[in-house]
Structure formats: C-alpha cells, structure tokens
Chains A and B, each alone.
Chain A
C-alpha cells in the first residue's frame, strides 16, 4: 500500500516536528483515557461504598427493630392476664398500679427506638434521665449502642 493511501494518522511523520506533535497527541489521548478510567473506577468504588453503607445501615436498623419487637411484640392477638372491669374514670384518682411491663423494659425500648431513629448517645441519655429517672444509663446504653470508646 502506498503512503498516500494510508489514513493521515498512520502515515510516517514528514519531519521531527510532525513526529513530536503526533507523539504529544498520542500521550494526551492516553492521559485522557487513563483519567477517564480512574474517574470511572473512583465513581464505581464510591457507589459500592455507598451501597455498602446503606446495606450496613439496613442490617443494623433491622437488628434493632428485631430487638425492639422482642421487647414489645407487635400485634399480640391473645389477651393475657385478668380482664379489667369497665368503670367510669375517676378524674382525680391516679392510682398506683405497679407496671408489670417494667419501666426498665420501657426505657430499653425507648433507647432502642431512639437509636434506630439516629439519636446520639447524649440525646438518649437525656431522655432516659428525664423520663425514667435512671441515674446510671451507661449499662443500658452500652448494651444497645456498644461500649463508649
């Protein structure tokens, strides 16, 4: 095949300047291709990282919900214990009925649900102190959130 029939980019360089220009073009194209590959790889890694974060969040949230369900099973169909009799409410008498669903179970569920909803250790601690008068919340919080570092 004669040189004239070759496409311009495949013809031999006419001079050193031409050769340098073509080399520069090749290097530039290679650099752009490499940058594209790097960008794509970074984007892919970021997507995978985001997915991994979401999966981890879902696993943690699901585990915490399961824990909450164990503490407070939803949709219990069968009544348990003695039935109360209907009476007109006495506005002033609050009674002192002991809670069989212990306050500690309530505190644990509160802490679990707040953790699931994204509340921080300090926020949960404040609510436990305010709502349940628990002075030392560390054991409960450690059990749900893991030990404080």
Chain B
C-alpha cells in the first residue's frame, strides 16, 4: 500500500482527530527512523518524548520479547512480579511512597486528582479545588482536561468537571492568592511541555510548596514529559528547590509501550482504597518489564550526566544560529524560540524534508526532544540542519 492509499484509508477509517505529516514510518533504530520509501530521518522528537532510550532499544526489545513469550496479562485480580518490581523501583527512585500504575499520562493524572480530592474530603473540605497554570497540559480525559485550561475552554466538550481553576503562568503572587483552605492540590508541570517548553521559576515553585504547606493542599508534579531522565536527572523535581507530594509519569517510562504511574510520598499512598480506582490493563506484565528495562538504562548517573552535557552543548550551538532568539528548557528538553516573523511550522516542514524531525508546539517555537541516547555527531547534524533551514528561510 503506498502513502496515498494509506492516507485515503486513514481518512475513511480513523476519526480525524490528528493532523499527520505525510510520512509513513516503517523502521526505527536509536535516533533514526526510515520511511516507507527508504529515506532516513534523524528523530529529534522521539515520539513526543516517548522513545527516550531510542527506537527499538535492544534491552527493551529483549525484555518485551522475553515477557511476551512467558506471560502477557492476568488483570489486577492477581499478582505478577514485573508490576510489583516496577512499583518498588519507581518508589525507591523518587518519593518513597506507594505507586498506582496506569496506561497513560492522563490516567496517571486522574489518579493524582482522585487522591487530592479524597485527601481534601478527609480533612473536611466539601468542594475541593485544584489549581493549575494557564497553558498547562495535563491530559485529555475529563479530570486532566479540566486541569488543562486551554483545552477546557472548548464549549463543545462541556460541561467540564467542576473544582478547577487556573492562574497566570509562573505568577507566584496569583498562585499564592488562589490557594486557600478548599484547595485540594496545586498541579504543576515543572517545565511546560506541550505549550512550548517553559520552565517554572524557582520563586514560583517555592511559592507553590509554601501555599500547599499552609493550607494542607497537595503539590502534584506532572512529570509525564519531564521525567525519566529527559532533563538530565531521573525526575525534574530533583533539579528544583521543592519536593512534590505526588508525581505522575508516563511517556518515556514504557520505552514505546503505553504506561502511566502515579507515585505518592509517605502516607498519601494509603489514601486510595479498594474500589476507589482501578484499571484492567494497568501494570501489565509486558509493559512493566519494558519499563524496568527503561529504568535500568536511564537511572544511570553517567547517562544522566551526558544528557545534561549534550543539552548544554546543544543549547549553546542553537543560540549561535541566526534566527534563534532564545533556547528554553533543561537537559534534552528544549524549546527553540525563533525571531519574530519566522514561521516555525514552515521551518519544521523544511527540516522534515531534509530528514530532521522536530515539532512546533506554538507559533515561533521548535521543540526538540531527541532520544537521550543520541550521539554528539547526531546533535551536530541536527544543529547544522536547523541552521541551514533558517538560512534558507531568511533567503527566501
């Protein structure tokens, strides 16, 4: 089936909820992808920060093959070892409390929202509220959607879940004023991902922690995009002056398979009880085995140091390019701000033609999320391609 036929079939059979680039990928290895015509691409998006250990990482593939050949699924009515070992590893590497496994980031956030609301009810709050920042992205299921202000504005999807409010991004004063005794949680992306890579300032993070401590609200870090090594530490909170009460993870955790996790600190792992929450597929043996393989690769000080070093080098190289006005983010999670008047979508399309995959989360920004295993020659190649694309744009 050629690309045109595939596109026609997709239009006929799939709900049209995505705008896809006209490329069919058929193979991946490390930071490289190949399309159906044999053309090679350098992938600086990694499936939106999912393939952080590279496409078809041999250790992950081996773990999946081994587990799939032995046992795939038993449901959460029974025990299976990979699930329990994964929870142990996630807890031990972060907040130390109990873990709820899910199938996606938005589901992990649903779990966090439930814990926050139930905890607020336990302390006598009748109408708990969850505070998030404008331009945050926490997911598309209704709870997470309600905490995602921009998407929650869509009247066609209303009515929204009540009990959510948004404050201006990175506005410590507004956050302090919005958090009060009815607040169940402050939900934060330490670095906003989908809106264009915008890190929260340390002042705002400290204000959020303080406001939560004063009111009994929980501080939730949505690390769905920032976690699992993306910023150069296993979790982004490790490079901030605060510790969250709940942490959610997904994307890179499964190495390409769908997974989510909500990790609690201390006693918060006891809040949800049997019947409060659940999932048929969550904690499946195959995806848990994959996630354990991913953590074995990423929870490595040498790899994480390399992510920080490569990220710093990439940032410096990008800033030296005409047309780049700023580079935001940390580690290998970078937003490249382009000069006013440059259409980032056109630049990204030109880069795709040249064999470099990036994306455009907002007008004027290129988002770079290469695999953490990318090598320095590939980073140099990406920089050269971006420089050439911006030069061509200026000349056109």
- Within A84-112, which residues are at the interface with B (CB < 8 Å)? 84-87, 89-91, 93-95, 97, 99-101, 103, 105-107, 109-110
Closest to A68 in B: B243
| Known contacts A74-B97, A95-B173: A84-B202 contact under CB 8 Å | no
Of B81-89, B252-260, B300-308, the one contacting chain A is B300-308
Q: Does A146 contact B (CB under 8 A)?
A: no
A77 and B173 alpha carbons, distance in the complex (Å): 24
Across the interface, do B305 and A118 meet the contact criterion of CB distance under 8 Å?
yes
A59 and B174 alpha carbons, distance in the complex (Å): 41
Q: B156 → chain A, closest Cβ, in Å?
A: 26
Across the interface, do A118 and B178 meet the contact criterion of CB distance under 8 Å?
no
Q: Does A36 contact B (CB under 8 A)?
A: no
Q: Does B182 contact A (CB under 8 A)?
A: yes
- Within A24-58, which residues are at the interface with B (CB < 8 Å)? none
Q: Does A113 contact B (CB under 8 A)?
A: yes
- Chain B residues contacting A105 (CB-CB under 8 Å) are 241
Q: Does A21 contact B (CB under 8 A)?
A: no
Residue of B174, B178, B180, B216 touching A76 (CB-CB under 8 A): B216
Q: A131 → chain B, closest Cβ, in Å?
A: 4
Across the interface, do B177 and A109 meet the contact criterion of CB distance under 8 Å?
no
Closest to B267 in A: A75
How many A-B pairs have beta carbons closer than 8 Å: the answer is 144
- Chain A residues contacting B205 (CB-CB under 8 Å) are 106
Across the interface, do B202 and A117 meet the contact criterion of CB distance under 8 Å?
no
Q: B92 → chain A, closest Cβ, in Å?
A: 8
Q: Does A65 contact B (CB under 8 A)?
A: yes
Across the interface, do A106 and B242 meet the contact criterion of CB distance under 8 Å?
yes
Q: Does B349 contact A (CB under 8 A)?
A: no
Across the interface, do B308 and A75 meet the contact criterion of CB distance under 8 Å?
no
- Chain B residues contacting A79 (CB-CB under 8 Å) are 123, 181, 214-216
| Known contacts A83-B181, A89-B178, A99-B206: A72-B243 contact under CB 8 Å | yes
- Chain A residues contacting B243 (CB-CB under 8 Å) are 68-69, 72, 74, 109, 113
| Known contacts A85-B180, A93-B173: A119-B308 contact under CB 8 Å | yes
Across the interface, do A77 and B233 meet the contact criterion of CB distance under 8 Å?
no
Q: A60 → chain B, closest Cβ, in Å?
A: 12
A81 and B82 alpha carbons, distance in the complex (Å): 43
- Within B108-165, which residues are at the interface with A (CB < 8 Å)? 119, 123
- Chain A residues contacting B211 (CB-CB under 8 Å) are 84
- Within B290-311, which residues are at the interface with A (CB < 8 Å)? 301, 304-305, 308
A60 and B72 alpha carbons, distance in the complex (Å): 37
Q: B386 → chain A, closest Cβ, in Å?
A: 26
Residue of B97, B174, B245, B267 touching A90 (CB-CB under 8 A): B174
- Contact flags (1/0) for A9-29 with B, using CB distance below 8 Å? 000000000000000000000
- Chain A residues contacting B207 (CB-CB under 8 Å) are 97, 99
Residue of A65, A75, A109 touching B245 (CB-CB under 8 A): A75
Across the interface, do B233 and A72 meet the contact criterion of CB distance under 8 Å?
no
A81 and B213 alpha carbons, distance in the complex (Å): 9
Q: Does B279 contact A (CB under 8 A)?
A: no
- Chain A residues contacting B235 (CB-CB under 8 Å) are 117
| Known contacts A84-B179, A131-B202: A100-B210 contact under CB 8 Å | yes
Across the interface, do B238 and A75 meet the contact criterion of CB distance under 8 Å?
no
Across the interface, do B206 and A86 meet the contact criterion of CB distance under 8 Å?
no
Residue of A73, A77, A78, A91 touching B174 (CB-CB under 8 A): A91
Query: Can you list the 3 inter-chain pairs with the closest CB atoms, starting with the nearest?
Result: A74-B265, A106-B241, A89-B174
Q: List 11 A-B contacts (CB under 8 A).
A: A73-B266, A74-B266, A79-B215, A84-B181, A89-B175, A103-B206, A117-B233, A117-B239, A118-B233, A123-B308, A131-B202
A positions within 8 Å CB-CB of B: 65, 68-69, 72-87, 89-91, 93-95, 97, 99-101, 103, 105-107, 109-110, 113-114, 116-120, 123, 127, 131-132
